[in-house]
Each structure stands twice: as C-alpha cells, then as structure tokens.
C-alpha cells in the first residue's frame, strides 16, 4: 500500500506544480486491512509549497472504508529541455 500511496502523492505534485518531483519523505498511516486483490480508490492533493519543495496528502478507501492516509515531501525539478541527439555514425 505504501507504493500506491507514493504514486498518489507524486501524481498530485506533478498535476498541481507541472514539475517533476522526487520523494524526500513519506509517512503512511495504515488504518484498515483489505483482502488481497481488493479494489483501492484514492485521492491526493497538494497541501503546500516552499521554494522547490512540495507537500502533499492522500487517502485511500476500499469498499467505502478508509484504509490509509499518507503525507509526503517532494523536491521538485523543472523539466529538462530536450537536447538534440548527435548523429549516429556507423
């Protein structure tokens, strides 16, 4: 579930800031249990920004029950400008 949480948080950061980000810190509070293969639904949102740092929060549910909450800190980066590839020799 922590991988799912990290993905939710990172998606919120990317969507809201339009910047790439890397997880610096993530806290995931597991509140409930689910059966293997259960369908999880989650949402995440940007909770703040400070310079190149972004803060996000998330929650996930299975069958209408809260399963986990999470929060994370992300270092954001501007997209790299695409550079032309050198011609292939050979």
Considering the domain boundaries, does residue 1 fall inside one?
yes
Task: Specify the number of domains making up the chain.
Answer: 1
**Residue 3 included in any domain:** yes
74 has pLDDT over 90: yes
* pLDDT number for residue 47: 97
Q: What is the pLDDT of residue 89?
A: 64
Instruction: Quote the pLDDT of residue 79.
Output: 75
Q: Whole-prediction pTM value?
A: 0.83
Query: Structural domain of residue 13, as residue ranges?
Result: 1-35
Determine, yes or no, domain membership for 53.
Answer: no
Could you tell me if residue 8 is inside a domain? yes
Q: What's residue 90's pLDDT?
A: 57
Count other Cβ atoms within 10 Å, centred on residue 31: 12
Structural domain includes residue 89:
no
Task: Note whether residue 54 is domain-resident.
Answer: no
14 falls within a domain: yes
Structural domain contains residue 76:
no
Closest CA to 71 of 23, 17, 16, 22: 23
Taking only the tens place, the pLDDT of each residue in 5-57 is 999 999 999 999 999 999 999 999 999 888 888 899 999 999 999 999 999 99
Long-range contacts of 4-7 (CB under 8 A, 24+ apart): 4/40, 4/42, 4/60, 5/42, 5/58, 5/60, 5/68, 5/70, 5/72, 6/70, 6/72
């Amino acid at each position: 579930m922590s991988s799912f949480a990290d993905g939710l948080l990172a998606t919120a950061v990317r969507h809201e800031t339009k910047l790439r980000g890397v997880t610096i810190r993530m806290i995931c509070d597991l509140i409930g249990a689910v059966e293997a293969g259960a369908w999880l639904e989650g949402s995440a949102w940007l909770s703040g920004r400070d310079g190149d740092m972004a803060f996000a929060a998330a929650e996930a549910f299975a069958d209408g029950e809260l399963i986990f909450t999470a929060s994370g800190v992300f270092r954001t980066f501007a997209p790299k400008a695409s550079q032309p590839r050198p011609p292939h020799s050979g």
